[in-house]
Structure 1
Amino acid sequence: MLGKWLSGLVSVDLPPPLQTKAAVELAAVRKIYTTGAGEFEALKGIDLTVNAGEFVAVVGKSGSGKSTLINMITGIDRPTGGEVWVAGTPVHTLTENQIAVWRGRTVGVVFQFFQLLPTLTVLENVMLPMDFCNMYGLLERQKRALSLLEMVGVHEQAHKLPGNLSGGQQQRVAIARSLANDPPLLVADEPTGNLDSKTASAVLDFFKELARQGKTILMVTHDNDLAGRSGRIITVYDGQVVAAETPERVSHV
C-alpha cells in the first residue's frame, strides 16, 4: 500500500522552474489563522529575497512569526495572500501532492529534535528521502548516503540505530539526510538548540562551508552569537521583517 502511495507521489508533474538568481522570493505574503478568539494575522505582507548561496539567519522572539515564515518557504503551510517562490517554483500554486514531491527534491529540512526514524538505521534514514522521491539508482543511493555520512563525520555509525548515537551525532545524521537529494535550499529550525557549544559551532562551520559550495541556508535561531556567524540576519517582529542586515551592521546598532 505504501509503495503504491509513494509511486503516485513521485509520478506527480511539477511546473518547470523559472530561471532566477533568487533562491527565495516572497511578495506581500500574509498568513491569517482563525482561532476561537477570532482571526490572528501571523504574517503581515512580507516581502523578502534571499539569493542563491546566501547563509541567512532568521531571528525574532517567540510569537514573532519567524516559524510561520519558514513554514511558508518550505510549503508546510499556505499563505493567505501573496506569492512564495523557491528556486523558481511558485510554491503557493502547488497542490498538496506536488508540494510533497517538490519539497523532497528542493528543500532539505533540519529540525531541532532531529526527527530520525528510530527503527531505521542511520544509513536507512539518510537513504529515505532518495527512496521517497525516487532519486538516483538503487545501488547509488547507498553509496551516496555513505558519502554524506562521511562528509558529516559519522560514517562509522551507519549501521547503528539513532538511539545509540549522541545528540551531536544524531544532528549530523539529520544534516546528511537533509542533503540526500542535493536540494538547493537547506532550512534549519533551531538546529543547535539541543547541542553543546562545541558541537553547535561545528554545525555552523559546516553550514558556512555548504554556503560556500553554493547551497542556500536559512537558519532559525534564538542565539544571537550563532546568528552573527551567518552572512545576513533577518529580524522578524510582530509578523513583519523589520531588518535584514549583515552581522557587522547589526553589531554596530
Structure 2
Amino acid sequence: MLAKWLSGLMDANLPQPRAGAAAVEMTEVRKTYLTGAGEFEALKGVNMSVVAGEFVAVVGKSGSGKSTLINMITGIDRPTGGEVWVAGMPVHTLTENQIAVWRGRTVGVVFQFFQLLPTLTVLENVMLPMDFCSMYAQTERPARALKLLDLVGVREQAHKLPANLSGGQQQRVAIARSLANDPPLLVADEPTGNLDSRTATAVIDFFKQLAADGKTILMVTHDNDLARRSGRIVTVYDGQILSAGNTERDGSV
C-alpha cells in the first residue's frame, strides 16, 4: 500500500513554475474555518511578498493567524480564497499529490518539537526527505546527510537515536533534515521555543547565514528579541498583516 502511494506521488506532474516570480507572493488570501460556534475567519485578505534571500520573522499573539499564514505557504492548509505563489508555483491550485511532491522538493520545514522519527538514527532522519523525493542517488545520500550534520555541528551524533540527544542537538538535526533536498525556502515554526537562549541565538545565526547564502527564511516566533535579528518583521494581528517593517531601518515589531 505504501509503495503504491509513493509511486502515485512520484507520478504527480507539477506545472511549470512562473519565471521571475518572488519567493513568496500572497494575494487577498482568506481562510475560514467552520467551528461549533459558526464560521471563524483566520485570515482576512492577506497580501504579502517575500523576495529570494530574505530572512523574515512572523510575529503575533496566539490566535492572530500567524500559523495559518505559514500553513498557506507550505501547502499544509489551503486558502478559502485568494492566491498563494511560492517560487513561481501556484500552490493554491495543486492537488494533494502535487503538493506533497512540491513541498518535499521546494520547502524545508522546521518544527518547534523537532518531529524526528524516534526509531530512526539521526543520519536516517536526515536522509528521509531524499528517499521520499528521490532527489539524489542512493549512494550519495549518506554522504550528503553527513555533510549537513557537519554543517549544523552534530555530525558525531549521526548514528544515535534522537532520544539520546539534547533538545538543542535535536533541533540542529531537524534543521539539517529540512535542508536535505536543498530547498530554496525554509519555514520554521517557533524553532527556538524549546531551546535555551544560547542555543536559540546559535540557530538564528545559522538562519542568517543561510539567508546570506541565498535561502529564503520564514520564521514564526513569539520572541521579539530574536525577531529583531531577522531582516524584516511581519506582524500578524486578527488575521491581517499589521506591519512589515525592515529591522535594519526601524528595529521594531
Q: TM-score, normalised by structure 2?
A: 0.98
Tell me which residue corresponds to 2:54. 54
Q: Quote how far apart the aligned CAs of 1:252 are.
A: 5.9
**Pairing 1:213–2:220 present:** no
Instruction: Confirm or deny: 8 A CA contact 2:188 2:219 kept in the other structure.
Output: yes
Q: Deviations over 1:137-184 (max 9, x none)?
A: 001111111110010010110010000000000000000000000000
Tell me which residue corresponds to 2:144. 144
Could you tell me which amino acid in structure 2 is paired with residue 14 of structure 1? L
Q: Quote how far apart the aligned CAs of 1:223 are.
A: 0.1
Q: 1:84-233 counterparts in 2 under 5 A?
A: 84-233=84-233
Report the secondary structure of 1:8's partner residue.
helix
Structure 1: runs of 5 or more not aligned: none
Could you tell me which amino acid in structure 2 is paired with residue 180 of structure 1? A
Question: Alpha carbon RMSD of aligned pairs, Å?
Answer: 1.0
Instruction: Confirm or deny: 8 A CA contact 2:122 2:160 kept in the other structure.
Output: yes
User: What is the aligned residue count?
Assistant: 253
Tell me which residue corresponds to 2:34. 34
Could you tell me which amino acid in structure 1 is paired with residue 184 of structure 2? P
Q: Quote how far apart the aligned CAs of 1:103 are.
A: 0.5
Could you tell me which amino acid in structure 1 is paired with residue 48 of structure 2? L
Query: Hey, which bits of structure 1, 4+ residues long, moved more than 4 A?
Result: none
Q: Quote how far apart the aligned CAs of 1:10 are.
A: 1.6
Q: Quote how far apart the aligned CAs of 1:188 are.
A: 0.2
Could you tell me which amino acid in structure 1 is paired with residue 186 of structure 2? L
Q: Quote how far apart the aligned CAs of 1:236 are.
A: 0.3
Tell me which residue corresponds to 2:251. 251
Could you tell me which amino acid in structure 1 is paired with residue 164 of structure 2? N
Report the secondary structure of 2:144's partner residue.
helix
Tell me which residue corresponds to 2:79. 79
Q: Quote how far apart the aligned CAs of 1:19 are.
A: 1.3
Return 6-15 or 39-48, whichever deviates more: 6-15
